[in-house]
Structure 1
Amino acid sequence: MAGEPAEAVGYDGSSAVGSGEPLGSVRTGAFAADRFRERLCGLSHRTPQGSPSPNGLRDGSRARTRGRRRAAAAQRSVSFGTDSADQVVLRNVDPAVLDPARDAAVVGDPDDRSEVAMAIKFGWKQALAAAAGVAAGVGVHMVKEAMAFRVEHEDVHIPGLPPEFDGYRVYFIADIHRRALPEAEIAALLGKVDIVWIAGDLTDRGVPEERTRANMRMLRKLGPAYAVYGNHDYEAYMPNMEKLDRLLEECAVKPLGSKNVPLHRNGSTIWLAGIDDLGPAGMWRGDPRIRREDCVLVLMHDPKWVVALRRISANYAFAGHTHGGQISLPLVGPAASKPFYKTYLDGTHFIDSEDGGMTGLRITRGIGTSHFPLRLGSPAETHLLTLRSAPKMEGTR
């Protein structure tokens, strides 16, 4: 029957295998017959090894020749037919060619596969399908996380901030890169912002100028806007940075560079000090307009300039650049390339300075991405900061 191992029988119906009969017949299913035919064809390509002897090479060659002749003869002699039960009959089968123990697996019905093998195969397929589904889901999540637009509302308590600036609202954004800012979400901030700070990488290589111009105009509508340049701005416009200066000025956004500008409110003044990504840094200390007791807030792109804050303190500093690692793997953490950026990745830090002061440092993950538009565990963000006056602590500027 189909599904049972093939049985070799003599012409009179008696078993031929092992009985000394030179040739016999095999009854089996159609699929098994095809498999058996394939095995017979394969025999003609096998080359049995001869027994070791002093004439090993010659004996081996003779054995291989005999094996090929025997297999070819067996292949030519076998004929196929059917009996009354619609089973395939293989006639003239050489018993030496047919090995029931071996051919039970080769000539058997395909439904005889073990349940364990089937379960393993099915399990692998299920596992691969599940892995593909998880990968696709993670990919979609990474794109959504990169393209999301959120505004984080937070209070920043600044020691030494004049009471007149308590409640001063700053829209803080960094690392726009290739993104086109969403007009509706930016427009929703109208009337809620006193000033805009752009902490570098406001464009990137290959970004159309019109997109950068549209982004800057949207931000300028919120209030007076100041920007420092980041490394990607230099990569996009060097050696003609004046072109980017002109673009910002057309949009009424002021390139801050490493300059200091006074900010006035209710008769009081604080200073916004820029640190250009190429330096120099700490220029507020040498500005004769800035008194020791004045409040200085620093806007920079790369927190690497914390080295300047360690020498010369300010009241507070704001930076971007890190993207919060952009890709932060579970159990591994952010894919930051340098130990420094694993420390100064995002959030708030406090820096002790050689002059006896202490500077707060707020690092944003930024709104855009670099290299590829994906984020994981480090969602894009912008900030609506409300500055709060706090008494000076010991060790602060």
Structure 2
Amino acid sequence: MKYVIGVGIASAATLLFSMVKNADDIKEKRHIINLKTNKNFRPFRLVFIADIHRKKLPEEFLGSSADAIIIGGDLTERGVPLHRTADNLRILTRFSPVYFVWGNHDHNVGERKLRKLLEHYKVKVLENESVELFGQPNLKLVGIDYFGERESKLEKAFADVRKEDTVLFAAHTPAIFKFLPATGNPQLRMAGHLHGGQIRLGKIGFYKKGSLKKRGSGYELVTNGYGTSTLPMRLGAEPQYHVLDIFPEKI
């Protein structure tokens, strides 16, 4: 019996060690995407990263250039030192212009301080609005604060989007995706929040694993996220961020 208990304890310790190690084994996922469009746009490279939480980005975070970086919410969380968040923003903004949408944890850290930090690093906060990308009027990025207390978010966010525009959409949670067709039809939708379930037993998890999927004429990207929430552990849902090379495909 002692032997069995000892083996069980050793196995549990090995599993816990592996889960902690897995949380630090962050993968760069590369994708090539062709977006159908009525009007051509210049190809570009986009980085999407979400759910950084308590993680510290390495100085050499990106090994290549990017045209834009989107932070898909939960840049930080309660208890994270402000200087760590500042360091992460310094690293990200060194590579390209950065856009940010709010996550649920971001609202809990002292919103005024975080806004000042984002402003200091010239990060564009997207709060239920759209922006032109790279000086191309027909290429739009729409961002929404899903967890804010404002009404008519989608109507406001898509107010300046035209039918002929090529549209990218970013929110913290993919729960908003099902409401988009009535307001607009982004060719690329991006979100995080779910961490891919974070700890999975094979195919079993609290949430589906993150993935890039073709949806009709467009794509949906739901990331497993970069960091962790509650427990600094992962199993079966690797931490990740995404580098997307995006090209126009003429309709």
TM-score strictly above 0.5? yes
What is the percent sequence identity of the aligned residues? 35
Compare relative contact order (CA 8 Å, sep 6+) and give the higher one, 1 or 2.
Answer: 2
Shift of 1:207: 0.8
Contact 1:142 1:376 in 2 (8 A): yes
What is aligned with 1:199? 72
Q: How many pairs does the alignment contain? A: 246
Asked if 1:285 corresponds to 2:154, the answer is no
Structure 2 residue matching 1:384: 3-state secondary structure: strand
Counterpart in the other structure of 1:256? 126
Q: Is 1:220–2:89 an aligned residue pair?
A: no
User: Counterpart in 2 of 1:365?
Assistant: 224
Residue number in structure 2 paired with 1:314: 186
Of 146-155 and 375-384, more deviation after overlay is shown by 146-155
Task: Please give the per-residue CA displacement for 1:305-353, whole angstroms capped at 9, x wherever unaligned.
Answer: 11321322122111111100101113x51123xxxxx4xx52134557x
In 1, Cα distance between the equivalents of 2:91 and 2:39?
30
Task: For 1:174 and 1:162, locate their aligned partners in 2 and report how far apart those are by CA, in whole Å.
Answer: 30
Contact 2:41 2:139 in 1 (8 A): no
Counterpart among 199, 204, 226 of residue 327 in structure 1: 199
Q: Distance in 2 between matches of 1:349 and 1:171?
A: 17
Change (3 A) 1:285 1:255: closer
C-alpha contact (below 8 Å) 1:200/1:300 kept by paired residues:
yes
Q: Is the contact made by 2:65 and 2:96 (CA closer than 8 Å) also made in structure 1?
A: no
**Helix, strand or coil: the match of 2:105?**
helix
- Residue type of the alignment partner of 1:179: K
- In structure 2, the CA distance between the partners of 1:218 and 1:324, relative to structure 1 (3 Å rule), is same
Higher strand fraction (1 or 2) = 2
Q: CA deviation at 1:269?
A: 4.0
> How many angstroms apart in 2 are the aligned matches of 1:162 and 1:139?
51
Please state whether the residue corresponding to 1:183 is helix, strand or coil.
Answer: coil
Alignment CA distance shift 1:145-1:248 (3 Å): same
Residue 158 of structure 1 deviates from its aligned partner by 1.8
Per the alignment, residue 49 of structure 2 pairs with: 173
Does the CA-based 8 Å contact 1:309-1:351 persist in structure 2? no
> Hey, what's the Cα distance between the residues in 2 that align with 1:286 and 1:163?
22
1:283 aligned counterpart, secondary structure? helix
Counterpart of 1:246? 116
* Amino acid paired to 2:225: G
Secondary structure at the counterpart of residue 231 of structure 1: coil
Letter in 2 for 1:233: D
Cα shift at 1:285: 3.4
SS at match of 1:291: coil
RMSD of the TM alignment (CA)? 2.1
> Shift in Å at residue 161 of structure 1?
7.7
Question: Which among 6, 13, 26 is matched to residue 149 of structure 1?
Answer: 26
Go from structure 1 to structure 2 and tell me whether the alpha carbon gap of 1:272 and 1:161 turns closer, same or farther (over 3 Å shift).
Answer: farther
Deviation at 1:128, TM superposition (A): 2.4
User: Which of 129, 133, 147 is equivalent to 2:6?
Assistant: 129
Corresponding position of 2:245? 386
> Quick one: which amino acid aligns to residue 178 of structure 2?
V
Partners of 1:306 and 1:366 lie apart in 2 by 18
Q: Normalization by structure 1: what TM-score?
A: 0.58
- Stretches (4+) displaced over 6 A: none
Q: TM-score under structure 2 normalisation?
A: 0.89
Alignment check: 8 A CA contact 2:189 2:220 kept:
yes
Q: What amino acid maps onto 1:154 in structure 2?
A: H
2:200 maps to 1:374: no
Deviations 1:266-321 (A, max 9, x none): x664111101123512534322xx32101111111111111321322122111111
Gapped regions of structure 2 (runs ≥ 5): none
1:276 maps onto 2:145 in alignment:
yes
- Alpha carbons 1:178, 1:207 under 8 Å: kept: yes
